[in-house]
Chains A and B, each alone.
Chain A
Amino acid sequence: MDTNKYIREPAVRLFAGEFNASKLLKKYSDDEKAPSYLITPTGAVANRVLISGVLVERNEKEDSRGSKWYKLKINDNTGMFTVMIGTYQPDAIREIAEIKAPEFVVVIGKPSVFEGENGSLFTSLKAEDIIVCDPETRNVWTLDTAQQTLARIVMMDELRSGREVEGIDPRAKEAVDYYKGDLKKYNEFVKKAVGNLALHTA
């Protein structure tokens, strides 16, 4: 890769159900500042994620030095995203100061995976921006995410069957060995999210 050229990482569309099932966070360089990528069960390679849903919890906290940070819960009808905002997210921390739950929001952020005390892995999102939106934007996001998730399920099905898929990020193949569960689960998330639209859009 041309190191002189900065290429911004696209924001992958992920439902909370799949996001929370994603536990493989990888770096492809020894450099401390090298970007991390969340490899998801359907083979998304995400350095950045775009989510939308309802902000249902907004917990304001303080660290040992008295700096504020926030732990948010955002629901998209397939599960609950955990979103963190600290002083290293200067735009988002300004934005969340003015937002109260419940509210429709869009969040653009970077995924991270922590290991809990009992060794279990826990995936969350560090928000770069959190913006209040209308239900329309959430609905558009839901269909956009449904489309992209379905496309990945098809791709992963091919990869799991040992077939090559043209034009994909080769890192997606790492999901084949790491995740063994039935892909139907992710199809169910799509059905759930889209099914909810049937109830809330006329």
Chain B
Amino acid sequence: MWSYHMTTKAIKERSEMIVERFKEKNVTIDLKTLNEELSTLVETYGMDIREAENAIVSRIAREHDITMYTGSFDTSVAEIKALTSGAWATLEVRCVDVVKPPIQKMEYQGIFADATGAMQFTIWERKGKDAAPIPPIVKDAWYRVEKCVIDTYNGVDYIKVHSGTIITEIEDRGDLTPIFTPIDALKNPGIVSIRGKVVRIFETKSDKVKCSGIIADETGSISFVAWASSTPDITIEDGETYEFRYCTVAPNNSTKYPGNSLTLSNHVVPIELDMEVVSTAGTETLQGNLVQIRRGSGLIKRCPVDGCNRTVDRRNFCAAHGVQPKFTYDMRIKGVIDDGYAAYSANIPCKVTEAITGVTIADAIEIAESSPLGFEDVFDMVKKNVCGRYFTFEVVKYQDAVYVAKAQPLTFEQIKELAGIPIIPYGQQGLEVE
């Protein structure tokens, strides 16, 4: 920030800039006179440089009967962290991501970052003849962005580069270390970086989605999506831990899972983190009865196309990729956990399904391949073994849906301790059936 104690050099630079601004309007100003006037106001009278500059510019503009912008336009370099919607700003930033713009009227879309944070940018098509030309915007290059405006779209602030914005490439200042945010602190929309473990990959239902699921860390969990258009090459593995840099947090439109969700950028870096700690991170304990086993539980077949993972039907047909004779097998339970007060849609992955049903995926494949009704037989086995039973589930909660990371039968001894109800005989009643 500028202080009252401006250096002579800085005042000279400001003076030169004012001369340039008037030159654009065909008004010639004497640099020496201007420089003296500005240093008097700043150094002798202790005026703020911007106030002094505005005072001089508006006076000269009046004298020449022209209009000059003298708002609170600040040419000092602002920090991204401090930007708020509606502000005009000058930034010195690294372009950390460039994506294919969703509409033709945009030339570029991506993310700019500085040491204090990151923000999405949109560079609109340049139309007016006065529009300043822009250099090519490439990932990892540094730019000075003058006179951009901070605007809001879908609740997320972004840097709007309009035809008056000046962008110049500046010297490379190297990599930036993002500030990592705990997941439960992701309250406000914006660009964030997190470290987390992928605890669930959803089945992809649309070609527009490259990958979606849930990421958890030690503090909470959040859903994520990687769009095929902006992150076509991303690979995310279930159960792996990553640095997800420069993701966008925004409220999603899903009625099923309302709340914030993350849109991933291309900056996804696999990292080594203590898996034991992270695997239970973000989970909570849910005791309840598995009151329903839905169709689609048991042994299923998945599309083998990289990144697809959709279930294929009995004819091995994938909705996106046609007939897939080389499908892969998977086992799961889609069910409902009910504690008597609420019912949660539960997704139980292969490992946990095997553990609670006692049916391994190898057993299930053998049954399925040796009988025409094998899949139904596996479904019936799974249902008979776990439906209506009580379990203690370790889950990642996601509104009324849960992803089950672990499950163990709830025993009578355990509930006896938890319930704290004295178990004493009541008269001589036994089972009336006896």
CB <8 Å contact, B426 and A201: no
CB <8 Å contact, A196 and B412: no
B289 at the A interface (CB under 8 A): yes
B429 at the A interface (CB under 8 A): yes
From A54, A136, A192, A195, B431 is in contact (CB under 8 Å) with: A54
Q: What is the total number of residues of chain A having a CB less than 8 Å from a CB of chain B?
A: 47
Binds B, one of A9-17, A63-71, A153-161: A9-17
Instruction: Give A83-123 interface residues, CB cut-off 8 Å to B.
Output: 102, 106-108
B1 at the A interface (CB under 8 A): no
Interface on chain B toward A: helix, strand, loop, or mixed SS? loop
Binds B, one of A32-40, A142-150, A176-184: A142-150
Given contacts A7-B400, A10-B341, whether A133 and B421 have CB atoms under 8 Å apart is no
CB <8 Å contact, A146 and B421: yes
From B388, B421, B425, B427, A137 is in contact (CB under 8 Å) with: B388
A165 at the B interface (CB under 8 A): no
Q: Which residues on the A side are within 8 Å of B383 (C-beta)?
A: 131
CB of B93, distance to nearest CB on chain A (Å): 41
Q: What is the total number of residues of chain B having a CB less than 8 Å from a CB of chain A?
A: 38
B424 at the A interface (CB under 8 A): yes
CB <8 Å contact, A140 and B345: no
How many inter-chain residue pairs (CB < 8 Å) link A and B? Answer: 121
Given contacts A108-B291, A144-B340, whether A197 and B429 have CB atoms under 8 Å apart is no
CB <8 Å contact, A147 and B432: no
Q: Which residues on the B side are within 8 Å of A13 (C-beta)?
A: 340
CB <8 Å contact, B340 and A148: yes
Given contacts A8-B336, A10-B342, A147-B419, whether A75 and B432 have CB atoms under 8 Å apart is yes
CB of A81, distance to nearest CB on chain B (Å): 13
CB <8 Å contact, A147 and B430: no
Besides the known contacts A137-B389, A198-B423, 5 further A-B residue pairs in the complex with CB atoms under 8 A apart = A75-B432, A106-B387, A131-B383, A194-B426, A199-B430
CB-based closest 4 A-B pairs: A195-B426, A106-B388, A8-B343, A131-B388
Name A residues whose Cβ lies closer than 8 Å to a Cβ of B.
2, 4-5, 7-13, 50, 52, 54, 56, 75, 77, 102, 106-108, 128-129, 131-133, 136-137, 139-141, 143-144, 146-148, 150, 190-192, 194-201
